[in-house]
Amino acid sequence: MKKTITTLSASLFVAASAMAGGIITNTNHHISWARMMARGASTEIDAIYTNPAGTAFSKHEGWSLSLNSHTVFQQRDIETTYPLFPEEGHTRKYNGDAFAPSAPSAYLLYKKDRWAFQAFFGVIGGGGKCKYDDGLPQFDAAVMTALYGQHLTPDMYTLDSSLKGSQYIYGGQLGATYRLNNNFAAHVGGRINYYYGNYTGHVNATLNNPENTPLAALAINCDQTGVGFTPVLGLDFKWNNLTLATKYEFKTNLSLTNKTKQLEAPAGFEKKVEAYKDGAKTDCDIPAILYVAAGYEIIPNKLRAAVEYHFLDDCPAEMSDNRNEYLHHGTHEVLGGIEWDINKTFTVSAGAQKTDYGLDDGFQSQTAFSCDSYSIGFGAAVNVTEKLRLNVGYFWTTYQDYTKEEEHYTGALPMAGTDTYSRSNKVIGIGFDYKF
């Protein structure tokens, strides 16, 4: 006897950020961010992303280049309580390991008098691979519930399941900035975003007999790709030691198209897997983002500090399963940082960020969940020569656990349970800035 059972959701690992930033977006690209965080008032080369209008106030005339790489270590764990789990307290933990060996970024700046021209490349969203060696609770629970309906208890069969996903949104950005006078500069630019994701997994159940008789099977292997364009505007105001800056990124309409190599589903479950059929499309918009920042040189050319606010307008950004409609509000981020030039060679800095997503039970799922958090970073810069600067930085993110009541079911047999979502994040980076 062999039956195929599935309850695939329509949102498998939707591009959760593997670094820092919003639900889908990354904001840490230059190592200066990792070691200070509040870089929205920067006028150095990293301002190409954080404050493009500020590049008109760069002290260096001519060409500048910056190359950076972040290595990301992340855990995305789910602790589930479900009546059929045989463990103590009917509780089982599913460990998800996410790792990005290198999330690269490159910056190129040319400044001449009042003009500045910029180019940027980086991993704008996602940025890693996540693997659940034991699969996900919703798949195991669905199979176990179905088998329980056939009078098969967990001691009578063995489950084998695993799931892994990878998501990358690559962005290539061009822009131009003009300094209107000694105080004001304005920027206009745009970014092309390319999404690539792959999702592979299976769940198998076999009867505990000498023949290991198959009872249930599920498998998926699906690639998703999409392209979208982001217009970018910026303003910068500089007066003595004070810098005020803002950047606005418009919403990016991003539709993903499937290339499905394998998808198993039984009769009666076709609608459950429609989102992963070959050629099917899924919404994955990048939200509009507003940056507002203030920077102040406490001691000119020696000690400076900055504060910053981000708003990511997630609610109108369409997601699979219309998950965005369950958010209470868009993402709010507050940042602060300080930087000290010890001497002409060494600089040290530190900073922090607090992120509030406006989460709701209807938004959270085992295949795509977020947790409110705060991040702390620190690092240093070394002027190796007059032209070459080395940046190193490290930051970690502490997440607030999120608990949700779940109902795992197959057919007409519902069984309630509880999911607790938790995450951890550690990032180390190194980069080089060069002035030609």
In a domain, 19, yes or no: no
pLDDT confidence of residue 137: 86
Task: Look up the pTM and report it.
Answer: 0.90
pLDDT confidence of residue 223: 94
In a domain, 278, yes or no: yes
Query: Whose CA is closest to 175, among 287, 280, 276, 48?
Result: 48
In a domain, 253, yes or no: yes
| Beta-bridge partners for 64 | 109, 435
DSSP assignment string, 249-290: E--B--EEEEEEEEE---TT-GGGGGGGSTT-EEEBPBPEEE
Distance (Å, whole) CA 307 – CA 184 = 20
Distance (Å, whole) CA 302 – CA 11 = 49
How many domains would you assign to the chain? 1
In a domain, 13, yes or no: no
Q: Are 382 and 412 in contact (CB under 8 A)?
A: no
In a domain, 421, yes or no: yes
* CATH number of the structural domain spanning residue 250: 2.40.160.60
DSSP assignment string, 96-111: EEEEEEEEEEEEEEEE
In a domain, 232, yes or no: yes
pLDDT confidence of residue 184: 97
In a domain, 228, yes or no: yes
Distance (Å, whole) CA 3 – CA 147 = 10
* Tens digit of each residue's pLDDT (9 = 90 or more) over 182-226: 999 999 999 999 999 998 988 888 999 999 998 877 888 999 999
Query: Which stretches of the chain drop beneath a pLDDT of 50?
Result: 1-15
Q: Are 419 and 91 in contact (CB under 8 A)?
A: no
The domain in which residue 265 lies consists of: 31-435
pLDDT confidence of residue 102: 87
Q: Are 62 and 315 in contact (CB under 8 A)?
A: no
In a domain, 17, yes or no: no
Within 13 Å, how many C-alpha atoms sit on residue 248's CB side? 5
Distance (Å, whole) CA 385 – CA 393 = 20
